């Protein structure tokens, strides 16, 4: 059944006009989309029938905790989209415009029927190791492209923003929940913040990866930052571990995807020794794992206390004895869940 179009928020109409996508005296209707916690997102039908996507960053994110972030992050998402398109053209939606005064960003509309969300596919047990490997390859390609162009760092002065929407709600908040782990978690924060190699997406999660006809498409780069590429790798791999508890029957396949993504990504690392990056990713991963049950942004599908305790048990042990290889994390998790 076709969606019923609605009148759009005035800020979005103003943004569309400022971006030259809507005539000054014209109006547009749209459909609000669900799924995001940090922005209002709409499918827009322009007067000429074209469909586009527009999003407006929120100052307070839609989570239970009091989590606020500057709406200027919209500017850096637009810049990330432009740079990623240079590195891997079919891996991001086409950027159509961005308007800072209204906090709006417009991009190509990708129909869900042709671009399902990877998270939904994984939830249903469809774990394609070939697709996971391509996710790893494309993220490495984007990282490599930016690392070869270090002057891009000036376009991403987002250290404070990245701390506000990634390091604080994940690692710092988790340290407050686990005071005995404050030292290793604080050390991870400091190391991550100080590592500056390339352009980082900051939210490489299955909910932000579409399964497109030509492979993975990355969206929602609101956390764009010039920093440590190991964060993107660890952040995505973390979700493949957690999915084992969401759809247990596919746990073995998720772990195969974990291995495929990590292997493909590390094969594309050119800006530093792959083993050095792997060490940072492997030692960061337990902190991110624990954060998804005890930080400000717990995953919504882990509601069983026994499952949460499994996460805590593995993550705490690895934080106290940091691994230097991703396979160590995968083995510890596999032992815990029997996969």
Same domain, 204 and 241: yes
- pLDDT tens for 267-306 read 999 999 999 999 999 999 999 999 999 999 999 999 999 9
Give the residue-averaged pLDDT of 115-131: 97
- Residue 36: its pLDDT value, please? 59
- Residue 4: its pLDDT value, please? 77
The burial class, CB within 10 Å (0-12 / 13-18 / 19+), for 239 is buried
Residue 187: CB partners within 8 Å, gap ≥ 6? none
- Residue 12: its pLDDT value, please? 92
CATH at residue 44: 3.30.200.20
Q: Cα(7)–Cα(19) distance, rounded to whole angstroms?
A: 19
- pLDDT tens for 5-46 read 888 889 899 999 999 999 999 999 899 887 555 678 899 999
- Read off the pLDDT band of 177 (50, 70, 90): very high
Residue 59 has pLDDT above 70, yes or no: no
Whole-structure pTM value: 0.93
- Residue 113 domain-assigned? no
Domain boundary among 108, 136, 171: 108
Q: Which range marks the domain in which residue 200 is found?
A: 118-337
- Residue 66: its pLDDT value, please? 46
Same domain, 208 and 261: yes
Q: Cα(158)–Cα(3) distance, rounded to whole angstroms?
A: 37
Same domain, 102 and 138: no
- Residue 265: its pLDDT value, please? 98
How many domains, in total, are found in the chain?
Answer: 2
Same domain, 246 and 268: yes
Residue 338 or 68, more confident: 338
- pLDDT tens for 271-282 read 999 999 999 999
Give the residue-averaged pLDDT of 210-223: 95
- Residue 68: its pLDDT value, please? 52
Give the residue-averaged pLDDT of 117-129: 97
- Residue 1 domain-assigned? no
Please give the mean pLDDT across all residues of the chain: 93
- Residue 2: its pLDDT value, please? 58
- Read off the pLDDT band of 63 (50, 70, 90): very low
């Amino acid at each position: 059944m076709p969606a019923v179009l609605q009148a759009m928020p005035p800020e979005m109409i103003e943004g569309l006009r400022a971006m030259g996508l809507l005539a000054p005296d014209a109006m547009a209707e749209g459909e609000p989309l669900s799924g995001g916690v940090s922005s209002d997102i709409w499918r827009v039908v322009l007067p000429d029938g074209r469909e586009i996507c527009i999003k407006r960053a929120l100052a307070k994110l839609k989570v239970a905790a009091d989590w606020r972030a500057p709406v200027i992050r919209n500017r850096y998402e637009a810049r990330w989209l432009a740079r990623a398109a240079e590195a891997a053209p079919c891996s991001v939606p086409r950027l159509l415009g961005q308007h800072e005064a209204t906090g709006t960003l417009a991009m190509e509309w990708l129909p869900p029927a042709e671009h399902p969300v990877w998270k939904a596919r994984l939830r249903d047990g469809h774990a394609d190791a070939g697709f996971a490997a391509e996710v790893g390859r494309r993220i490495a390609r984007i990282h490599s492209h930016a690392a070869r162009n270090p002057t891009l760092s000036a376009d991403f002065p987002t250290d404070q923003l990245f701390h506000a929407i990634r390091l604080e709600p994940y690692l710092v908040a988790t340290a407050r929940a686990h005071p005995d782990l404050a030292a290793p978690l604080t050390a991870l924060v400091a190391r991550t913040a100080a590592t500056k190699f390339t352009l980082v997406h900051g939210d490489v999660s299955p909910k932000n990866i579409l399964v497109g006809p030509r492979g993975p498409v990355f969206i929602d780069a609101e956390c764009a930052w010039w920093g440590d590429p190991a964060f993107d790798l660890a952040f995505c791999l973390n979700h493949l571990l957690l999915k084992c508890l969401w759809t247990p029957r596919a746990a073995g396949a998720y772990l195969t995807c974990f291995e495929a993504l990590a292997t493909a990504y590390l094969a594309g690392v050119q800006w530093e020794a792959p083993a050095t990056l792997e060490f940072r990713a492997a030692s960061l991963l337990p902190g991110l794992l624990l954060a998804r049950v005890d930080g400000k942004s717990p995953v919504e599908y882990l509601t069983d206390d026994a499952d949460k305790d499994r996460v805590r048990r593995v993550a705490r042990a690895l934080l106290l004895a940091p691994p230097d290889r991703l396979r160590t994390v995968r083995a510890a998790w596999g032992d815990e869940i029997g996969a």
